[in-house]
Chains A and B, each alone.
Chain A
Amino acid sequence: MTTATVSRWDRFRESFFWYSFKRDKIAILSTLVLLLMVLAAIFAPWLAPTDPYDLAQINIMNSELPPVGLDGADAAFPLGTDAQGRDLLSTILYGTRVSLLIGFGAVLLQGALGILFGLLAGYLGGKVDAVLMRIADVQLSFSTLMVAIIVGAVFKASFGNLMFGEIAIYMLIFIIGVAEWPQIARTVRASVLAEKKKEYVDAAKVMGFGTGRIMFRHILPNTLSPIFVIATVQIANAIISEAALSFLGLGMPETQPSLGSLIKSGFDYIQSGSWWITLIPGLVLVVLVLVINLLGDWLRDVMNPRLYKG
């Protein structure tokens, strides 16, 4: 067999990436848990016993039933029900779906913004760099959560409750994406500064390629691994930010809950002893964020060339 026919899959199996993955139990376990949750979220409409968005399937008589194993539980609702009588397992499946959707969407948006601004700042330098990085500095010094809360507050005040509820998913993706782009832009800029001194960039310039082509086709592919590492951690951050905004009432409405708004709606009933409405979605949120963070840590260890050689 000639080298040309070595498939991508074979190359992947020979790689250091796969080698270190196989040897890291925490990474394997995190991947499995994450995959399970993502699949459960994607197939929520088929897996969930009831449709929490469908008012006809909800009976208020079933409200605040405890999970199976406690007194007064109903086997039809394995994780119990919330204050409106919705099956908690179904709302959690749908809620994870919403949380993941917003998490991925927000990271795609901040990735697009961060890569664009990071490339511009790093490659063009000078005034562009100074202005973009000063904006990033100021935004980061205010903390991304603060920026997100303020933008969310302004949107909510200007759209009104009802309107905001309808477009909440897009709003949250926008708010979190805009609030967190500096994280990615800084990483991209740092690697662009290192890359643009290399000879292949000089070669591309001599060959007469345009600035845009050099930035996106030549430099960008070489800065992808740090972007990949930070994007993973940023998904976890975006999910937490979404949960925080929803908990403050600046996010998903109760009719279309994310994990954050489930925790919020359950919190009102914790004093009456119905701890499961708030703590079970909370546990799901923590596990989701934790496995993404653990994967992020592992990716950083594997992909960071400095650590790899040291």
Chain B
Amino acid sequence: MLAFLVQRISQALLVMFVISVIAFAIQDGLGDPLQQMVGMSVSQQERDAIREELGLNDPLPVQYLRFAGNAIQGDLGDSYFYSKPTLDVILEHLPATLELVIGASLIIIVFSVPIGVYSAIRPQAWLSKFFMGVSTVGISIPVFLTAIVLIQLFSIGVTVDWFPSDTGWGQWLNGALSTDGGLPSYGRGEELTHLFGTWYSGFFSTGGLMHLILPAVSLASIMLPLFIRLIRAEMMEVLQSDYIRYARAKGLSAGRINFLHALKNTMLPVITVGGVQIGIMVAYTILTETVFQWPGVGLMFLEAITRSDIPLIVAYLMVVGLIFVITNTVVDLIYGLVNPTVKLTGKKA
């Protein structure tokens, strides 16, 4: 176990090192800090003096060590646009993204487990086939398109008048196919509760929750099909194992077998895969936040790109890299803990 721990942690450190080198290369290759700091009127001599003073003439390894040393101490430079430390900017935007991810994860858990289990227990039922079909279509719809359709349906609203409105059934069909809209599709709203530090939460007010619904559903829509398929596949495998057959032979009730014995062993791989997938959701938050103008780190990153705010781009890379590396390492370690048969050398095929 100790060897496993050391191996995983040293691998995480190596990945962080590579990320920091890439981030440093971007900073060094893209931005000339001097251009941002001084005006046109500054003479060449003065420029050279500042350049020397900032250490921009030092050899690259020295500059990298300075960059890495500052980064470890939490100093990733100042944002050009916000004129304050980039880490502070990111910490201000992080709660919004975290709440979006939490909301989406809740939706995924609430829907994927029952649907996955049901379609594993009754693979031939028409409802299971329907869920599988919907999840195939769901995988083919990009997350930003789901978001746009949701906005059209539930924020703007759709009025259907295809059927004759002078008949009862026509009126009923028109009404059933139309949607009211009215759900907010922009930002987080005004009703935010201050929790601590920079964390303002939308979970504790109706307005905040209403603003969360559409973005969270959009973000969940991309992962939900994957999780339904994963839970279904794992559950079907578990249901064929010997101990389940033994439990059936013993005459235990179907409910007890399915939900007590089988589900427990189904959830183990699902949780570990799920941990990694939730890390991947960070990439999709960029798309979701762009559509809904959700003031999280994804939107902040995209705005930083349009503004060529290089320190902020670099800081985002470092922070997101760190989040990815930590989730992956923790998931690996948990997997190693609960499943001691995992090979110590490298990942399984």
Which residue among B144, B284, B287, B320 has the maximum number of chain A CB atoms within 10 Å of its CB? B144
Contact B306 A249 (CB under 8 A): yes
Contact A244 B349 (CB under 8 A): no
CA distance A152 to B94 in the complex (A): 23
Contact A138 B148 (CB under 8 A): no
Interface status of A58 (Cβ within 8 A of chain B)? no
Interface status of A38 (Cβ within 8 A of chain B)? no
Contact A286 B280 (CB under 8 A): no
Interface status of B42 (Cβ within 8 A of chain A)? no
Interface status of B125 (Cβ within 8 A of chain A)? no
Cβ-neighbour of B347 out of A137, A146, A236, A240 (below 8 A): A137
Cβ-neighbour of A279 out of B149, B283, B305, B346 (below 8 A): B149
CA distance A130 to B11 in the complex (A): 12
Contact A143 B283 (CB under 8 A): yes
Smallest Cβ-Cβ distance to A236: which chain B residue: B140
Chain A interface category by residue count: 35 or more
Chain B interface category by residue count: 35 or more
Closest CB in chain B relative to A83 CB, distance in Å: 15
Which residue among A157, A243, A271 has the maximum number of chain B CB atoms within 10 Å of its CB? A157
Interface status of B212 (Cβ within 8 A of chain A)? no
CA distance A263 to B151 in the complex (A): 14
Cβ-neighbour of B152 out of A137, A143, A270 (below 8 A): A270
Interface status of A60 (Cβ within 8 A of chain B)? no
Residues of chain A from 126 to 157 with CB closer than 8 A to chain B in the complex? 130, 133-134, 137-138, 141-143, 145-146, 149-150, 153-154, 156-157
Contact B156 A270 (CB under 8 A): yes
CA distance A263 to B147 in the complex (A): 12
Is chain A's interface secondary structure helix, strand, loop, or mixed overall? helix
Interface status of B338 (Cβ within 8 A of chain A)? no
Contact A154 B145 (CB under 8 A): no
Cβ-neighbour of A141 out of B140, B148, B152, B324 (below 8 A): B324
Interface status of A282 (Cβ within 8 A of chain B)? yes
Interface status of A62 (Cβ within 8 A of chain B)? no
Smallest Cβ-Cβ distance to A153: which chain B residue: B305
Contacts of A157 in B (CB 8 A): 30, 305, 308, 310, 313
Known: A154-B313, A247-B144, A248-B286. 14 other contacts (CB 8 A): A141-B324, A142-B321, A143-B283, A145-B283, A240-B140, A243-B144, A244-B142, A267-B291, A271-B156, A275-B156, A279-B149, A286-B142, A290-B136, A293-B139
Contacts of A188 in B (CB 8 A): none
Contact B306 A240 (CB under 8 A): no
Contact A286 B136 (CB under 8 A): no
Known: A142-B324, A154-B30. A293 touches B302 (CB 8 A): no
Smallest Cβ-Cβ distance to B31: which chain A residue: A157
Contacts of A190 in B (CB 8 A): 349
**Would you give the 0/1 interface string for B310-349, flagging 1 where the beta carbon is closer than 8 Å to chain A?**
1001000100110010001000000000000000001101
**Would you give the 0/1 interface string for A71-110, flagging 1 where the beta carbon is closer than 8 Å to chain B?**
0000000000000000000000000000000000000000
CA distance A137 to B331 in the complex (A): 14
CA distance A145 to B143 in the complex (A): 12
**Would you give the 0/1 interface string for B267-301, flagging 1 where the beta carbon is closer than 8 Å to chain A?**
00000000010011011101100110000000001
CB-based closest 3 A-B pairs: A146-B283, A143-B280, A290-B140
Contacts of B279 in A (CB 8 A): 141, 143
Interface status of B177 (Cβ within 8 A of chain A)? no
Known: A154-B30, A157-B305, A286-B145. A130 touches B140 (CB 8 A): no
Closest CB in chain A relative to B260 CB, distance in Å: 30
